[in-house]
């Protein structure tokens, strides 16, 4: 990060913190004036476990609809200016508009009883919560779910249970709740192309409560819970870890043990292969589930799971078994990091790149959505709200479409060409509309002990190891193990909006290795901003239900998981891709042995090749308009 960017970032954080600490107590006072506040209500589940719940509802005798947020995160806040959660702000906004706002901790989190498991708690917890809320004398029986990231990821699988009171949902940054959808097998962002995404390694370290944590005695009264929570909120504070170093530890199965993290959930997950049966037993949504609940979906270009999120939206729009429900899904795609929708400003900066004024009237649209489905108002949401609202970077503007990708997009093939020396940005690699006449493969050496570093990207939750967003890739492109293919400077600007598909023809001298690809926008001054990236583990090239290893020197076709963006490549810019075999620590390193990888400490060097010719037409497919 450049010094100027760092200074601006620190100043922005300070301003935000001061403003928040000054208004936290004030917002609670305003909330107290209009709301009946009922905190630490212990909502019973069917197995007797009680979940800690705070309820904020209007001071009225009329029955009201409910906006429900269930989360693993700490929402304990008392308006004293010391505990700065956003619960009061959200509750105030809901109550003043005539809604009850209900926030609840997942089982095993903070004051909720039971044992926690990431997306592994019973789906019945959500169903039972809906039943309890609809039966309250102040409820009109209509419930909407709302939240981002872990507060969104549980919503889809529970919605598929089709509770009669669940009327609508607003999931934001929800990709870690997606298991499998239309050929993508991500299993809640644990995998991408069969390679582990290390974000959950650091996330679990930071959030998981210890099994030996202090526990409130069973049957504690609401009065006692309120009193206790005012001075003791059960929030763990793990020692700070330098994840830029911790992620290098091998074997990866011992990574959390090496930093003294809690390991039970991690130990189970790190050993699961992409198609392990346990991925289908917890709280992940899979496309075998029928989801009828109307959804207003929010996605970010620089989020970790933008492509799976968009695949899920398309699946519900085009393949839902309940044909009538297909019309009840709407999509917003913002040019922000994970869950940063409302932080867009007149000059929105994502990483190092300015994307202009990316503000949007989120609250107005969301509450029109709630009014339609929870209050039954005959408003103009469906008439006035575009099916898809997406932000195009480069041209820096919001655009509308009737589908994703936009209907007028045309897929255009760009073939890899070179003289056999595409290594580094100074090499001979090009992207051309024509296939190479003969095969002059580009070779590079992948050493797992010296992986290509992740610089920016579509990431989340990686501690100090990787900053998300667009960053200049020029230093990465100087490495000899990075192949670079670029168009000539564009004579006219072009918009690329949709899924970017890639097919590579590869060979290696090892049984298994990875292949990575990154899409880049190169400015006339040479600055090379990343847009999206993906990876494919070679052993899973024929599917995730089997492993097929490579034979030395044999050429194999690999189709990578699609990337996604909406970017206007201006006149004079270049469209570029980078290819290698690592993008670390964004993705776990393949040690190239053909073994289990998670329990191995020593790797072998792979000599990999990318082939391009009429026989081996390695190419990318760009959605152009």
- Among residues 125, 303, 521, 532, the one annotated as catalytic is 303
| Six-digit token string for 224 | 């006692």
- Residue reference for tokens 């469209």: 575
Determine if residue 153 is left, alpha or beta; phi over 0 gives left, psi from -120 to 50 gives alpha, anything else beta: alpha
Phi, psi of 82 (to 5 degrees): -100, -40
CA dist., res. 262 & res. 225, Å (int): 26
Q: Is 149 a catalytic residue?
A: yes
CA trace torsion 568, 574, 580, 582 (10° rounding): -40
CA dist., res. 472 & res. 423, Å (int): 18
- Among residues 69, 149, 150, 202, the one annotated as catalytic is 149
Beta bridge partners of 146: 170
* All residues at 6 or more sequence positions from 219 whose CB lies less than 8 Å from its CB, including other chains: none
Q: How far is CA 46 from CA 125, 131, 299, in A?
A: 8, 11, 34
Number of H helices, E strands in the chain: 12, 28
- Return the H-helix or E-strand segment holding 39: strand 35-44
CA trace torsion 482, 487, 492, 498 (10° rounding): -60
- As to burial, measured by CB atoms within 10 angstroms (0-12 exposed, 13-18 middle, 19+ buried), residue 355 is buried
- Among residues 163, 329, 338, 612, the one annotated as catalytic is 338
* Contact call for residues 504 and 579 (beta carbons, < 8 A): yes
User: In this structure, how many other beta carbons lie within 10 angstroms of the beta carbon of residue 87?
Assistant: 24
CA dist., res. 51 & res. 43, Å (int): 5
Buried b (16+ CB within 10 A) or exposed e, 222-240: eeebeeebeeebbeeeeee
SS3 250: coil
The residue count for the chain: 625
Q: Where are the beta strands (DSSP E) in 262-394?
A: 285-286, 295-302, 329-337, 349-350, 353-354, 388-392
Q: Is 612 a catalytic residue?
A: no
CA dist., res. 339 & res. 336, Å (int): 8
C-alpha R_g of the chain: 25
* Contact call for residues 69 and 90 (beta carbons, < 8 A): yes
Q: Is 338 a catalytic residue?
A: yes
Hey, which residues are catalytic here? 149, 303, 338
């Amino acid at each position: 990060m450049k010094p100027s960017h760092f200074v601006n970032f620190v100043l922005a954080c300070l301003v935000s913190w001061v403003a928040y600490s000054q208004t936290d107590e004030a917002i609670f006072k305003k909330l107290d004036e209009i709301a009946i506040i009922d905190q630490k209500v212990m909502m019973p589940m069917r197995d007797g476990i009680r979940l800690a719940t705070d309820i904020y509802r209007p001071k009225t005798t009329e029955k009201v609809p409910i906006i429900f947020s269930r989360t693993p995160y700490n929402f304990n806040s008392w308006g004293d200016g010391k505990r700065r959660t956003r619960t009061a702000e959200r509750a105030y906004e809901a109550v003043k508009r005539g809604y009850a706002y209900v926030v609840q901790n997942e089982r095993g989190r903070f004051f909720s009883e039971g044992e926690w498991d990431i997306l592994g708690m019973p789906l019945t917890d959500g169903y039972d919560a809906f039943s309890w809320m609809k039966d309250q004398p102040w409820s009109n029986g209509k419930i909407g779910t709302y939240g981002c990231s872990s507060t969104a990821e549980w919503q889809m699988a529970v919605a598929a249970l089709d509770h009669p009171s669940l009327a609508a949902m607003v999931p934001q940054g929800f990709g870690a709740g997606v298991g499998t959808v239309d050929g993508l097998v991500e299993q809640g962002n644990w995998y991408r192309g069969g390679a582990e995404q290390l974000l959950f390694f650091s996330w679990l370290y930071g959030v998981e409560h210890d099994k030996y944590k202090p526990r409130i005695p069973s049957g504690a009264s609401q009065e006692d819970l309120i009193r206790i929570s005012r001075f003791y909120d059960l929030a763990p504070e793990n020692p700070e870890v330098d994840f830029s170093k911790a992620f290098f530890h091998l074997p990866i199965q011992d990574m959390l043990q090496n930093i003294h993290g809690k390991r039970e959930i991690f130990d189970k997950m790190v050993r699961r292969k992409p198609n392990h049966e346990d991925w289908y037993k917890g709280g992940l949504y899979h496309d075998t589930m029928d989801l009828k609940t109307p959804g207003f979906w929010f996605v970010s270009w620089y989020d970790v799971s933008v492509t799976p999120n968009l695949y899920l939206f398309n699946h519900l729009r085009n393949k839902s078994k309940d044909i009538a429900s297909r019309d009840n899904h709407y999509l917003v795609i913002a040019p922000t990091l994970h869950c940063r929708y409302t932080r867009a400003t007149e000059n929105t900066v994502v990483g190092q790149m300015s994307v202009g004024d990316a503000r949007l009237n989120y609250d107005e649209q969301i509450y029109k959505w709630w009014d339609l489905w929870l209050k039954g108002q005959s408003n103009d949401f469906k008439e006035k709200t575009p099916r898809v609202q997406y932000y195009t970077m480069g041209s820096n503007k919001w655009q509308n479409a009737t589908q994703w990708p936009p209907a007028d997009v045309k897929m255009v093939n760009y073939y890899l060409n070179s003289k056999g020396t595409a290594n580094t940005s100074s090499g001979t690699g090009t992207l051309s509309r024509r296939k190479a006449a003969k095969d002059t493969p580009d070779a590079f050496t992948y050493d797992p002990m010296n992986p290509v570093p992740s610089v920016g990207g579509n990431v989340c939750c990686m501690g100090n190891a990787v900053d998300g967003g667009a960053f200049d890739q020029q230093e990465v492109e100087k490495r000899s193990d990075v192949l670079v293919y670029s168009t000539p400077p564009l004579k006219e600007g072009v918009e690329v909006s949709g899924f970017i598909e890639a097919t590579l023809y590869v060979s290696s001298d090892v049984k298994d290795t990875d292949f990575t690809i990154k899409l880049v926008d190169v400015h006339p001054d040479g600055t090379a901003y990343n847009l999206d990236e993906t990876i494919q583990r070679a052993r899973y090239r024929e599917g995730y239900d089997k492993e097929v290893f490579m034979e030395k020197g044999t050429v194999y076709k690999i189709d990578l998981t699609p990337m996604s963006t909406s970017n206007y490549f201006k006149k004079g810019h270049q469209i570029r891709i980078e290819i290698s075999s690592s993008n670390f620590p964004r993705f776990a390193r393949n040690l190239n042995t053909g073994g289990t990888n998670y329990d191995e400490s020593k790797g072998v060097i792979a000599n990999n090749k990318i082939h391009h010719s009429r026989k081996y037409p390695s190419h990318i497919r760009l959605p152009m308009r």
